[in-house]
A and B are shown apart, each in its own frame.
Chain A
Amino acid sequence: MLQGKIFDIKRFAIHDGPGIRTTIFFKGCNMKCLWCHNPEGLDESNDIFYYEEKCIRCGDCITACPEDALVMNNKTMIDRKKCSTCGACVEVCPTESLTRAGRDVHLQALMDTIKRSKIFYETSGGGVTISGGEPLFHFDFVKELAKKCKEENIHVALDTAGHIQPKRFKKIMKYFDLFLYDLKIIDEDEHIKYTGVTNRYVIQNLEELSEQGRGGEVWIRFPMIPDITYTEANIEDMIGFLSDLNSIEDIYILPFHDVEEKYKKLGRPYSLSSIDIRAPTKREIKKMKDKFSKAGFRVHIGG
């Protein structure tokens, strides 16, 4: 039986495509964007979150840990190097101050959950959104999942950053009704600098969608981060690139907000904490919106 690794299922999602949706977050990603707001989606291996404010310092987790990775020092301290993310601490924690991100799911169990909300997909024109991490990282599973949804007549959206060999992308694209397509930086060097990978595939795959006449089924999602993605040059490049493509009309601006807390709870270093980073102002968002609108796009904020 096919298994996939996910870190969350969000039922009744309203920001991940049309209507009311079930969004599946797959674990593991092939980009390492410095601003990533779902850091628990980065690695394929499990992660342990620690919410200090919920902790009642009972110490049960310390005794439960088979690796001796935990100590109580006014709060639970996790030696992440020793931790095997087995989840023994999570199991005994009475307050859910320790939780685990990452679990294996069987395709059928996932479909059962998805089908529970079918009535709402129907009333709202919703469906399933396959997200991550990078869902295409789990190519075979995601393909089967999308196929199964089709069999059930459920609309499927793919939330992807597009970093996958075009040959493979071509094989899987027919299974999706909609693409929530992340586009971050057009300049290749800059892209490598902030995401760790080239954007060649990202660009080619988007071009392929457009060439196949599926531009209308693409929603561009643009994380707006001042001085990184939100620069004069990058905006010009974006407008230039997208205008050359056929029938791509919708752009979703996702204004950056700080997620340092989340990294702390995961015990992960947050690369942006050393950089002076800030959320865009309302005026900047408006300016950005106007620019894209002027270039003929339908612009949405958030979602």
Chain B
Amino acid sequence: MVEDLIVNGNEEIDLNEEMKKREAFISPINERIKKLRTDCVEKRVAISTERAELITEFYKQNEISRHPTSIQRALAFKHLMENVSLPIEDDQLIVGLRGTGIKEVPTYPEVCCHNEEDLEILDSREKNPYKNDKEDRKLYEKEIYSYWQRKTIREKIFNSMSQDWLDSYEAGIFTEFMEQRVPGHTAGGSRIFSKGLEDIIQEIDYAMKNIDTNDESKKKELESMKICAEAMITYAERYADKIEDVLKTEKNEKRKRELKKMCEICRRVPKKSPRTFWEALQHYWFIHVGIVTESNPWDSFNPGRLDQHLHPFYKTDMENGTLDREKAKELLEAFWLKFNSQPAPPKVGITAQESNTYNDFCKINIGGLNEDGSDAVNDLSYLILEVLNEMRTVQPNTAVLTSKKTPDNFLDRALEVVEPGFGEPPFFNHDEIIKILLRQGKSINDARTGGVSGCVETGSFGKECYILTGYFNLPKVLEVTLNNGLDPKTGKKIGISRDEPFKFEDFQDLYEAFIEQLNHFIKIKIKGNDTIERIYAENLPVPFLSLWIEDCVENALDYNRGGARYNTQYIQMVGLGTVTDSLVSLKHNVFEKERYGFEDVIEALSSDFKDREKMRQVFLNKTPKYGNDDDSADDIAVSIFDKCAEIVEDNPLTPIRKASRRIYGLPTTVHVYFGSVCGATPDGRLSGRPLSEGISPVQGMDRKGIGAVFCSVCKLDHKKSGGTLLNQKLSPDLIHNDESRKKLRDLIRGYFLMDAHHVQFNVVSAELLRKAQEDQEGFRNLMVRVAGYSDYFINLPKGLQEEIIKRTEHKDF
């Protein structure tokens, strides 16, 4: 066709040149930030033993046990904030770090405790290591592990789970989020930026007056919150003192002035509410560090709608003449690096070997709508886009919230950032996010001030505790169905068996057997979730985080016990594309066209298509596939998606938090692990290969372009989930000029008008990725979109690298 004529027919693209072009985009605003960025990016990640030592030392004191758990936790937090070291990075403008320095990551032995072997794996593994030495390991073995063994949350969880649950977990039907990291999954709202700790303490005192005096538990909750509030003030004061010390020896006049200013700021916030742009950033950051020191919540913590929260400070400072755009950008870039200095806490056990990223999933939202429904894009939204474009670090992640009212210009600038191809920023439909939140019963204001955190998770920012409990392997459920309740990998019976296997009358009969099996496993997962919710409520309150999520103080109830205004619990469904294509293939090839007998197919699957390549090719090529706007395939995806939502949502509210139950459609990197436990599938996928990710079609099976993918995924009712993830890979020459970029923008607009939730783009060629696999050194800076985050390509495990290469590279819409 005509477009054939315009490809770079007579020009070879030099891959090294392309890499250089990408690197040229990294251009922090000035030398200071450039240096800070280099220090931060190049610093290797290490274990910091300090937190583990401090918390162990604290709990070893005998008198601790006389306090109720909430007070114990508060005193532990106090002990930490009074004793952790206070690193100040040379030339930084914001202080406070979790751990003892840049990328020195603490551990949380009370949740899950590393032993000598875990640390060795972390130190020596090829990808994403956490460096530690012999002495650290000895210390952990002697002091830390010996104390926490049999006391950790992780052990409590595994010891409380039923045999059904353990079998399903081992078979890879689902994973468990809370076995190494604690509930969190939340973002700050306006409360953080408008209140100082003194204000919060007043609220606590007020709440104390209003509770039933006999309610000991509530009294203790409030007491514990107050202890934490005061501990954080102490932490900031300690920093102010430390800066004064540094000042004594500082020679540089300019830096001296800066340090003086920083010292003043630390004396002001977070005790009192911030007044200036700089104070607001420092204020937030202290709170952020507090939350991630108290525990290791999932997705770290998020500043939420940063452009909205900071705008009043920005505006006032600009009007006063105390801030200009350049200074604001410098501060934002310094702030940006604080996130990148805090990699995800390391895992233990087998997951330590498999864990795939340093990314801790902090997400900054920009754009979207205001509380009153008007367009919220402001100058800071643009400024943050510029910062993202210039910094290009693994963290923080961003989200461009798009509504019908979002100006074209803003989207065009965002797409310009996408173009050099590091996967950021992703695009979200704010109109749809609001509808999702309204469907869940949030007020219109609480819906509009919401956004997305983690990967694609919708939440009412600052007001909701929305907990992800684990990934759920849909294709594995089909495999168990086809094997009459057996897991062919282990030979164990884990599902429901029928008396007469392989006698499915018609497709409907098979489909219903699958749904029955789905129901069975979701039930097991949910039962486990309830037990785990109780374990956290009883053992791991988070009084400091509770200060910042409305209405924990007012309710005198911890975040982990249902104190937040809204409570939600999620299961993340994985492999929708693979399970759809597999069911469609059985429907089409066995029941409709009668190309193959059912048992014949089962046999071919169990032998991984050995000597059955022709059959596999028919499954791959002559069978309708989800993702091509073909109703005969897409309708099955819709009914599975609906059914998942229905089964999960039908459960009563959770016992402690009274949370409603919902589904997500996001995979992070688990589709690789889930694929590894799944035998060959009827869509033609070979045994052990990755599953499809998010709600994306199976890799390489979307053959009709991005537009058709959009049409397919929009048949799903996205409102029935809390967020869905769609990855699309674009060929670099597809959006090389203004006109094609505008067309992509219009395509996204159409996609969002059809009520989609999210889309993100990798602009990268398979050739470049292959080259990077061979010549790692030259491609150290090559960042790609993985799932709801970006990461350095060469740091990804091989399986994931291959999966990304296999995704369809759209050369056209």
Co-assembled chains A and B: yes
Q: Is the CB of A254 within 8 A of B749?
A: no
Contact with A along B1-35 (1 / 0, CB 8 A): 11111110111000000000000000000000000
Please measure, in the bound complex, the distance between the C-alpha atom of A8 and the C-alpha atom of B1, giving whole angstroms: 9
Q: Which residues of B contact A301 (CB under 8 A)?
A: 6
Please measure, in the bound complex, the distance between the C-alpha atom of A94 and the C-alpha atom of B742, giving whole angstroms: 39
- Closest residue of B by beta carbon distance from A113: B629
Which of A119, A125, A256, A281 has most B Cβ within 10 Å?
A: A119
User: In the complex, what's the smallest C-beta–C-beta distance from B739 to chain A, in angstroms?
Assistant: 8
**A73 on interface, CB distance cutoff 8 Å:** no
Of B614, B706, B711, B746, which contacts A124 at CB under 8 A? B746
Q: Is the CB of A123 within 8 A of B2?
A: no
Of B4, B708, B753, which contacts A11 at CB under 8 A? B708
Q: Is the CB of A117 within 8 A of B707?
A: yes
**A302 on interface, CB distance cutoff 8 Å:** yes
Q: Which residues of B contact A15 (CB under 8 A)?
A: 2-3, 6
User: In the complex, what's the smallest C-beta–C-beta distance from A236 to chain B, in angstroms?
Assistant: 24
Interface residues of B in 72-103 (CB under 8 A from A): none
- Closest residue of B by beta carbon distance from A58: B614
User: In the complex, what's the smallest C-beta–C-beta distance from B1 to chain A, in angstroms?
Assistant: 6
Q: Is the CB of A95 within 8 A of B617?
A: yes
**B138 on interface, CB distance cutoff 8 Å:** no
User: In the complex, what's the smallest C-beta–C-beta distance from A251 to chain B, in angstroms?
Assistant: 15
Please measure, in the bound complex, the distance between the C-alpha atom of A94 and the C-alpha atom of B1, giving whole angstroms: 25
User: In the complex, what's the smallest C-beta–C-beta distance from A157 to chain B, in angstroms?
Assistant: 12
Q: Is the CB of A116 within 8 A of B1?
A: no
Q: Which residues of A contact B707 (CB under 8 A)?
A: 11-12, 20, 117, 120
**B747 on interface, CB distance cutoff 8 Å:** yes
Interface residues of A in 4-46 (CB under 8 A from B): 8, 10-16, 19-20, 23, 25, 37-38
Q: Which residues of A contact B747 (CB under 8 A)?
A: 12, 20, 120, 123-124
**A287 on interface, CB distance cutoff 8 Å:** no
Q: Is the CB of B621 within 8 A of A303?
A: no
Please measure, in the bound complex, the distance between the C-alpha atom of A258 and the C-alpha atom of B747, giving whole angstroms: 31
Please measure, in the bound complex, the distance between the C-alpha atom of A58 and the C-alpha atom of B754, giving whole angstroms: 43
Please measure, in the bound complex, the distance between the C-alpha atom of A131 and the C-alpha atom of B10, giving whole angstroms: 26
**B151 on interface, CB distance cutoff 8 Å:** no
Please measure, in the bound complex, the distance between the C-alpha atom of A125 and the C-alpha atom of B3, giving whole angstroms: 19
Q: Is the CB of B617 within 8 A of A94?
A: yes
Q: Is the CB of A120 within 8 A of B5?
A: no
Contact with A along B623-661 (1 / 0, CB 8 A): 000000100000000000000000000000000000000
User: In the complex, what's the smallest C-beta–C-beta distance from A173 to chain B, in angstroms?
Assistant: 21
Interface residues of B in 797-813 (CB under 8 A from A): 812-813
Q: Is the CB of A16 within 8 A of B621?
A: no
Q: Which residues of B contact A25 (CB under 8 A)?
A: 1
Size category of the A interface is 35 or more
**A259 on interface, CB distance cutoff 8 Å:** yes
Q: Which residues of B contact A279 (CB under 8 A)?
A: 9-10
Q: Is the CB of A302 within 8 A of B6?
A: yes
Interface on chain A toward B: helix, strand, loop, or mixed SS? loop
Q: Which residues of B contact A255 (CB under 8 A)?
A: 5-6, 9
Of B10, B711, B813, which contacts A14 at CB under 8 A? B813
Which of A124, A159, A303 has most B Cβ within 10 Å?
A: A124
**B613 on interface, CB distance cutoff 8 Å:** yes
Q: Which residues of A contact B10 (CB under 8 A)?
A: 257, 279, 281-282
**A56 on interface, CB distance cutoff 8 Å:** yes
User: In the complex, what's the smallest C-beta–C-beta distance from A270 to chain B, in angstroms?
Assistant: 15
Supposing A11-B705, A94-B617, A96-B621 touch, asked if A257 and B746 sit within 8 A by C-beta, the answer is no
Q: Which residues of A contact B742 (CB under 8 A)?
A: 124
**A187 on interface, CB distance cutoff 8 Å:** no
Q: Which residues of B contact A302 (CB under 8 A)?
A: 3, 5-6
**B246 on interface, CB distance cutoff 8 Å:** no
Q: Is the CB of A116 within 8 A of B740?
A: no
Please count how many residues in chain B sit with their CB below 8 Å of the partner chain's CB atoms: 36
Q: Is the CB of A94 within 8 A of B6?
A: no
Please measure, in the bound complex, the distance between the C-alpha atom of A11 and the C-alpha atom of B742, giving whole angstroms: 17
Work out how many contacts link A and B, with CB atoms closer than 8 A. 111
Q: Which residues of B contact A152 (CB under 8 A)?
A: none
Of A8, A12, A281, which contacts B813 at CB under 8 A? A12
**B441 on interface, CB distance cutoff 8 Å:** no
Q: Is the CB of A254 within 8 A of B5?
A: yes
Interface residues of B in 605-622 (CB under 8 A from A): 613-615, 617-618, 620-622
Interface residues of A in 216-267 (CB under 8 A from B): 223, 254-259
Q: Which residues of A contact B373 (CB under 8 A)?
A: none
Please measure, in the bound complex, the distance between the C-alpha atom of A301 and the C-alpha atom of B740, giving whole angstroms: 13
- Closest residue of A by beta carbon distance from B10: A279
Please measure, in the bound complex, the distance between the C-alpha atom of A253 and the C-alpha atom of B361, giving whole angstroms: 47
Interface residues of B in 722-761 (CB under 8 A from A): 740, 742-743, 746-747, 749-750, 753-754
Q: Is the CB of A257 within 8 A of B5?
A: yes
**B242 on interface, CB distance cutoff 8 Å:** no
Contact with A along B674-714 (1 / 0, CB 8 A): 00000000000000000000000000000011111001000
Q: Is the CB of B6 within 8 A of A254?
A: yes
Q: Which residues of B contact A256 (CB under 8 A)?
A: 5
Q: Is the CB of A119 within 8 A of B5?
A: no
Q: Is the CB of A116 within 8 A of B746?
A: no
Q: Which residues of A contact B617 (CB under 8 A)?
A: 56, 94-95
- Closest residue of B by beta carbon distance from A10: B1
Q: Which residues of A contact B743 (CB under 8 A)?
A: 14, 19-20, 124
Q: Which residues of B contact A11 (CB under 8 A)?
A: 629, 704-705, 707-708
Q: Is the CB of A37 within 8 A of B5?
A: yes
Q: Which residues of B contact A14 (CB under 8 A)?
A: 3, 740, 743, 812-813
Please measure, in the bound complex, the distance between the C-alpha atom of A109 and the C-alpha atom of B178, giving whole angstroms: 52
**A52 on interface, CB distance cutoff 8 Å:** no
Supposing A124-B750, A281-B10 touch, asked if A12 and B5 sit within 8 A by C-beta, the answer is no
Q: Is the CB of A123 within 8 A of B753?
A: yes
A-B contact list, 28 entries, CB within 8 Å:
A11-B704, A13-B812, A14-B740, A14-B743, A15-B2, A19-B746, A20-B743, A20-B747, A20-B750, A37-B1, A37-B4, A38-B1, A56-B613, A56-B617, A116-B629, A117-B707, A119-B750, A120-B746, A120-B747, A123-B746, A124-B749, A125-B746, A254-B2, A255-B9, A256-B5, A257-B10, A279-B10, A303-B2
Closest 8 CB pairs of A and B: A302-B6, A12-B707, A124-B746, A94-B617, A257-B9, A12-B813, A120-B750, A123-B749
Binding site for A on B (CB under 8 A): 1-7, 9-11, 613-615, 617-618, 620-622, 629, 704-708, 711, 740, 742-743, 746-747, 749-750, 753-754, 812-813
Extra 4 A-B pairs, beta carbons < 8 Å, given A95-B617, A117-B711, A303-B6: A11-B705, A14-B812, A123-B746, A124-B743
